[in-house]
Chains A and B, each alone.
Chain A
Amino acid sequence: MFASKRLSKMQEHVPPGIAIAKSENLEEWQMDIKVLDDNPLYQNQTYRLKFTFGSKYPIEPPEVQFIECAASSDTPRPIPIHPHIYSNGIICLDLLSSAGWSPVQTVESVCMSIQSMLTANSRNERPPGDSDFVSYNRRRIRDIPFVYEDDNV
């Protein structure tokens, strides 16, 4: 009931660098995002975000992560290199956690936050402990106890 109201007419008017890739239902959306400035790390790349909405959205945050599409496919979508993005696509961003989320956020605003998170980055590296995390994590994204130590990103 509540959740379904999120369905806006976003399709027609998305901010630059953001496009809807898939939105057939109200449970999962996929968005393509690009970094707009000439940050060499992300130039000419498109990345795909997967939003998964629970029944309590927008009171509770959606799960948002990057997903990979094979380089050989029509729409190659790598996982961006970023000190806060694990190589399995999980993003360490406080506004996506239960504590940092606010119901006034939208798909658009989340995409823009991630865009700016990429734009502002200059380090070509994965988070520390990436391979361990990728191997052993079984938790749902919102249950992962991230430590948001870096306020600059």
Chain B
Amino acid sequence: MVAAKRKLLRRVPNHLTRISQRVLALSLAFPVFLHFLIFSAVEVNSIDCLSLFTANSDLLRMCGALLLPPMQQSFDLSDSTDWHETPLSLLGPLETSLRCQVCKDFYDNPVITSCSHTFCSLCIRRCLSTEGKCPACRSSDQELKLRRNWAVQELVDNFTTARPIVLDLARKEAARLTRGNDQVEGPAPKKRKAGRVEQEETPVPETSPQRVRTRSQRTKANPREEVIEDSQDEDDITGMWCFTMDQVAGDESNVLAEDGLVACPICLRRMKDEAVFQHLDTCTGEPAPPKAASFGSLQPQPRHLPKSTGNPPERIPAMNYSILKETTLRKKLRELGIPEWGPRVLLQRRHTEWMNLWNANCDSKFPKSKRDLLHELDVWERTQGGNVAAPSPFVSTGTVMRKDFNAAEWSANHDDDFKRLIANARKRNDAIVRSTIPGASAASSGSEDPSLEQPDATSNATRTVPEMQEVPAEVLPVNGSIDSRHTSNPSG
């Protein structure tokens, strides 16, 4: 429990945790009405801004606005640069070396490659399944050769436990030094033993109010003890904060232990409440085969899944997709208990992602439940998989065609782009017309290139018949597809 809590602390900005706890508590009280609030809360926990962008529901958006402060204000992500302004700036490089080079977060289940580089298990698995190369040195490697790096895990655990307290002390000292400098001319000694500061309760600079509040709560208890003692007394020190958390966690497990199942409003099948929404997307109204009901449950049927007796979970082997028929692949996914809809490419990508999530979880000291992993897969589904609602214009071409497309907002957001593009287009058009087709400027100005979605066709056409008055491609500065799409959208 303590470890899990610490992990949560590590990953989630404190104020977000507290708010989402409240949301969680609320939603436990009104599970049916509010259970998609959990979704959003959990999402925000993983700082999943992308899916917030893509969220459709107004409520979700509201939640996002509530929970997600503007980026520059108090987005309290820990970072190695936190040490820069303190007397302990040398801890910056130390912290950097405890962070994964891919995700820039602290190592989560670190594994070591055969070229002796360390990454989060999930990060390196995703890299290897994409490219088969170590991101640091580009030498080829295989997932099978990854080995856990317990020493690094311990380093990270211990460092992240000590970090908030040490950082707080360092910041106080920095503040004290600045004030000292203001009063007495001349430089104060740059380095001081952190121990000296403990006697003085100086206010911390106002750089990050959220952080300060939580930390000062902690430091009211004897800070020295806190540094030395093990995490056992964390509960006492953080007091109410942790208590509410335990309570919530307890409540949750109680509720789930009693029943935890909710009936689908259409087909009345019972399932975990998290699964309902996803199920609703695909529910046909017919009572489905009993197997599908296990979707999202803790102990599904497939053979290779861990028994609740605590056997280490078995890893999912990689598959050679090219030799599998689509039906076989679909069956595999069904056996694994993950969604099996979508075209073949999506099935492969989903299987890869699930394999990465699953196998990375096998590297964990405290493996998550399959339910958690399924939720992570669901997040993936909504950000990168088949449920991408309103992806960035790079991913899909359908954005501006959606029924609920907000033209006013879009044009406001991209006003600068449009203006710039129009200016560029005019300029270039004039120049080209002047140099190549004298006298044709009137005819060609103002029309739009109709064949934006068929890049090759357009370029071929313009290449072969450059003297045609269909505005040549030069009118549109080629700034990548996003910009060309802007121009094609008349709302600007």
Contact = CB atoms under 8 A, between A and B. Distances in A.
Interface of A: 1-13, 23-27, 52, 54-56, 58-60, 63, 65, 67-70, 88-90, 102-104, 106, 134-141
Contacts of B463: 136
Contacts of B318: none
B481 to A, nearest CB: 5
A96 B48 CA distance: 25
B47 interface: yes
Contact of B84 (A13, A59, A102, A141): A13
A17 to B, nearest CB: 18
A104 B120 CA distance: 12
Q: Give 9 nearest A-B pairs by CB, closest first.
A: A138-B455, A136-B459, A104-B101, A9-B79, A103-B135, A103-B102, A5-B103, A55-B384, A102-B135
A5 B84 CA distance: 20
Contacts of B481: 138, 140
A104 B102 contact: yes
Contact of A1 (B130, B383, B474, B484): B383
B185 interface: no
Contact of B105 (A5, A9, A24): A5
A46 B485 CA distance: 27
B462 A55 contact: no
B404 interface: no
Given A6-B104, A70-B420, A104-B101, A55 B395 contact: yes
A1 B392 contact: no
Interface stretch (B70-78, B156-164, B366-374): B70-78
B462 A140 contact: no
B136 A104 contact: yes
A134 B126 contact: no
B456 A138 contact: yes
Interface in B94-118: 101-105
B81 A9 contact: yes
B473 A88 contact: no
B237 interface: no
7 contacts: A1-B46, A5-B105, A9-B81, A12-B81, A27-B50, A52-B480, A59-B102
B279 to A, nearest CB: 22
Contacts of A27: 50, 53, 392
A69 B50 contact: no
A1 B50 contact: yes
B29 interface: no
Contacts of B473: 135-136, 138
Contacts of B138: 102
Interface string B20-53: 0000000000000000000000000011111101
A78 B103 CA distance: 33
B407 interface: no
A70 B423 contact: yes
A3 B394 CA distance: 15
A25 B484 CA distance: 21
Contacts of B47: 1, 4-5, 7
A106 B79 CA distance: 14
A90 B394 contact: no
A8 B478 contact: no
B77 A54 contact: no
Nearest to A23: B71
A8 B84 CA distance: 14
Given A2-B126, A9-B81, A138-B455, A55 B480 contact: no
Contact of A4 (B49, B423, B458): B49
B417 to A, nearest CB: 9
Nearest to B11: A5
Given A11-B72, A140-B481, A54 B395 contact: yes
A80 B359 CA distance: 46
Interface string B452-492: 10011011001100000000111001111110100000000
Contacts of B75: 7
B433 interface: no
Nearest to A66: B479
Given A88-B477, A140-B394, A140-B480, A58 B102 contact: yes
Given A13-B84, A140-B480, A135 B474 contact: yes
A52 B84 CA distance: 28
Contacts of B477: 88, 134
Given A5-B103, A65-B480, 6 more contacts: A1-B50, A7-B71, A8-B81, A103-B127, A106-B104, A137-B478
Contact of A9 (B82, B103, B462): B82
Contacts of B77: 7-9
Interface in B370-404: 376, 379-380, 383-384, 388, 391-392, 394-395
Nearest to A24: B71
Nearest to B380: A1
A68 B424 contact: yes
A88 B475 CA distance: 12
B45 to A, nearest CB: 10
Contact of B478 (A11, A70, A134): A134
Nearest to A7: B77
Contacts of B71: 7, 23-25
B325 to A, nearest CB: 27
A70 B395 CA distance: 29
Contact of B50 (A3, A63, A90): A3
A52 B455 contact: no
Contacts of A6: 103-104
